[in-house]
Amino acid sequence: MSYRLPPLNALRAFEIAARHLSFKHAAAELCVTPTAISHQIKQLEEFLGVELFRRLTRSLELTPEGVALLPKVCEGMACFAAAVERTRRPDAKQRLLVIAPPSFATRWLVPRLKSFAEQQPTIELHLVSSLNAIDTDPMGVAKIFDQVDLRDGDSHAAICFGTGSYPGYRVDRILSSGYVPVCSPRLAASTHPLRALDDLRCHTLIHDDTITDERARPTWSEWLRVAGVQNVDATAGPHFRDSGLALAAAIDGLGIALASKPLAATEVASGGLMVPFRISFRERFAYYLVAPEATAQRAPIVALRQWLFAEAAKTEAFCQAHC
């Protein structure tokens, strides 16, 4: 039996745009421009001979024809997805691309990936580090995916350090990020040991300038104020535009860094760093797993989500006990 059907891309664009009632949000989910979504919807409307959306001044509204079409399109897309999953060979490698902030990837994710590989031998993981995953722009996730080569059939997700507000995406909070001072155990036991908060006056403060938005993470000035420490120059000391470099400097004994607990946890556990004062400063950013809503339930992403939750729970427990 032959079928006269519109292009699949146009149906997919319609389903997502109808779900969001926004060409802009549909474009973000599909990693294309709003103009491309508009063209695909127009192509579908011309094929059907009816209008599917009313273009209002600042919003979209489904027409009666659009309302009638949407459930069947959703049902059809679900059938396509199920058929593809059933057809895929169980032992075939599934390519999963994950984008993460550089320091998070290096300090937290990579040291734990062996267990993920052992649990998921059929998932071919591709890890990309990007400063764009340190995000203050609610629509910035689409920009992250724009910079990587996505093949047909790829599953993709990002671990973002941000506010968790990403319209058009499934967002799961992974880790909070309280900040504590960290230093080398050698430094803490040096000529000027760190026994009391006032001892900070005798040591170099290391500054992490990775995030330019001061609301996203505390400065030394803020931490010292919360801790009740006075007469310490909160601006003196070396500055780094990479959290990993700031931690490396602390490990090497250059001074004391104000570090995110999850990023410091591995080094604290191994003895490379210690937390001299367990006074934590919690900011408004956290680590989130972010995936397009249309693909968020694909098996590789579900497996990654469950593994991240389990590993994050271990990290949170360790930080509560030692940080």
Q: Is residue 275 part of a domain?
A: no
Here the tokens at position 209 are 């300038």
Q: Is residue 208 part of a domain?
A: yes
In the three-class reduction of DSSP (H, G, I as helix; E, B as strand; rest coil), residue 84 is classed as: helix
In CATH, what number is assigned to the domain containing residue 137? 3.40.190.10
Same domain, 12 and 74: yes
**Residue 123 vs residue 212, higher pLDDT:** 123
Same domain, 264 and 183: yes
Same domain, 186 and 306: no
Q: What are phi and psi of 132, to 5 degrees?
A: -65, -15
How is the beta sheet containing 169-175 ordered, strand by strand? 123-129, 94-100, 155-162, 286-292, 169-175
Q: Are 298 and 278 in contact (CB under 8 A)?
A: no
Same domain, 301 and 153: yes
Sequence length of the chain is 323
Q: What share of the chain is helix, strand, coil (3-state, %, to 5)?
A: 45, 20, 35
Same domain, 255 and 212: yes
Same domain, 307 and 226: no
In Å, the largest CA–CA distance within the chain is 85
145: which residues sit within 8 A by CB, 6+ positions away?
A: 31, 99, 156, 158
The closest alpha carbon to 70, from 19, 7, 26, belongs to 19
Q: Is residue 279 part of a domain?
A: no
Which of 87, 113, 137 terminates a domain? The answer is 87
Which of 66, 87, 108 terminates a domain? The answer is 87
Does the structure show a pLDDT above 90 at 284?
no
**What does the pLDDT look like over 9-18, one tens digit per residue?**
888 889 888 8
Same domain, 22 and 161: no
Does the structure show a pLDDT above 70 at 137?
no
Q: Is residue 133 part of a domain?
A: yes
CA atoms lying within 13 Å on the CB side of residue 284? 10
Q: Is residue 303 part of a domain?
A: yes
Under DSSP, the state recorded for 77 is H
Run of H or E residues at 308: helix 299-322
Same domain, 184 and 263: yes
**What does the pLDDT look like over 147-175, one tens digit per residue?**
666 666 678 899 999 888 888 789 999 99
Number of domains in the chain: 3
Which of 25, 56, 87 terminates a domain? The answer is 87
Burial status of residue 255 (CB atoms within 10 A of its CB: 0-12, 13-18, 19 or more): buried
Q: Determine which of 10-19, 85-94, 237-246 has the lowest per-residue pLDDT on average.
A: 85-94
In the three-class reduction of DSSP (H, G, I as helix; E, B as strand; rest coil), residue 3 is classed as: coil
Single pTM value for the model:
0.70
Q: Is residue 276 part of a domain?
A: no
Domain enclosing residue 147, as ranges: 94-176+285-322
As a whole number, mean pLDDT of residues 193-204 equals 91
Same domain, 156 and 304: yes
Place of tokens 């080569």: 149
pLDDT category at 249 given cuts 50, 70, 90 is: very high
Does the structure show a pLDDT above 80 at 92?
no
Report the distance separating Cα 107 and Cα 250, nearest Å: 14
Q: 105-137 burial, b if ≥16 CB within 10 A, otherwise e? A: bbbbbeebeeebeeebeebeeeebbbebbbbee
Same domain, 301 and 165: yes
Same domain, 166 and 291: yes
Same domain, 170 and 197: no
Q: Is residue 277 part of a domain?
A: no
As a whole number, mean pLDDT of residues 234-258 equals 93
As a whole number, mean pLDDT of residues 28-49 equals 89
Pairing status of strand 239-240 against strand 123-129: unpaired
Q: Is residue 26 part of a domain?
A: yes
